Amino acid sequence: MPSSLPPLAEVLDSMRVVAIPTRTRFRGVTVREAAIFDAPAGPSEFSPFTEYDDAEAASWLAAALDYGWTAQPAPRLDRVEVNATVPAVAPDEVARILDRFPGCRTAKVKVAERGQVLADDVARVRRVRELMGPDARVRVDANTGWSVAEAVTALTALAEFELEYAEQPCVSVPELADVRDRLRAAGAQVRIAADESVRKASDPLAVARAGAADLLIIKAQPLGGVARALGIVREANLPVVVSSALDTSVGISMGAHLAAALPEGMLAGACGLGTVALLADDVTDTPLVPVEGVIPVGRPALSEASLTRTAASPERTAWWVERVTRCYALLAAEAA
């Protein structure tokens, strides 16, 4: 967050709200809404999911204000390798999804989708492995969808596909530690990555102190911005993968900047920053979609035509204005 908040009137005056359809249903989302700021330091984004309360969303606004109104840590890289992201689709849809991620040699596959069963996950992951070949890296992400017993059963079944890691199989830090210990005892070679236990936690370092994960999934917006996320990475002292939350190219650029600014040796593989490929439109004429498996580090220029084409309805725009105003008040009270 900036050392001093920019005036709320300036923030709101710079804001445009967009509503962009997704190409495939993703975590229940079929239209992605976001507030885009044409800010002094460059375009910035505020896009917590609509169900998040103000206390959680305020950290996302802190990140947007920091990225749009302050200088950022210097990046070490000029491009970042990214993974393909495969939603919880049927196996016969996997090839179509992977085609949107040209050159990517890592895939993150969504599992534990509500209304589906383990056989659906196995079939989906098997198809990804078949299409990408034995040398590709395959990850799964359960988004806290399993109990400990379900996670051990599922990951034991999925281990045959030589998973790079399993992301957030359960909700709590003790559950992650339990799953990790049980898998090791069973001889299943599946590493555990923590996502929600970092970005949704009051103490994002708790998972590292508990030894509950082998690596961390770091997202710039939920953690309050690039600088704060870098601080957490240094304190946790675990390998990390930088990811996103189905952002527009503006939000993705924030994540790419974070990945490019990580201390040497901390980046654990391809980043989850290729998800613009899952959106049906964008706010720029130069979207940050993967080319040969990488995206560039840098802010894309906003396109007036794109912002107009994807503009949210007046009712949804008013909803976001009110949300930004409430979250700004929380940040101002914290800074006082």
Write the DSSP assignment of 16-58 as a string of letters: EEEEEEEEEEETTEEEEEEEEEEETTEEEEE---TTS-HHHHH
> For residues 84 and 107, is the Cβ–Cβ distance under 8 A?
yes
Torsion of CA 276, 280, 281, 282, to 10 degrees: -20
Lateral strand order in the sheet of 29-39: 15-26, 29-39, 42-46
Write the DSSP assignment of 100-134 as a string of letters: TSTT--EEEEE---TT--HHHHHHHHHHHHHHH-T
Question: Which amino acid, residue 83?
Answer: N
Catalytic, out of 108, 124, 219, 299: 219
Which tokens sit at 70? 């302050």
Cα separation of 281 and 309, whole Å?
Answer: 9
141 labelled binding-site residue: yes
Catalytic, out of 16, 110, 139, 199: 110
Cα separation of 170 and 197, whole Å?
Answer: 9
Q: Is 19 exposed, middle or buried (0-12, 13-18, 19+ CB in 10 A)?
A: middle
Q: Any bridge partners for residue 136, and if so which? A: none
99 labelled binding-site residue: no
38 labelled binding-site residue: no
Cα separation of 314 and 125, whole Å?
Answer: 41
200 is catalytic: no
156 Cβ contact partners less than 8 Å away, ≥ 6 residues apart: 183, 186, 188
Q: Which residues are annotated as a binding site for Mg(2+)?
A: 141, 167, 195
Question: Which residues does the annotation mark as catalytic?
Answer: 110, 219
Q: Which residues are annotated as a binding site?
A: 141, 167, 195
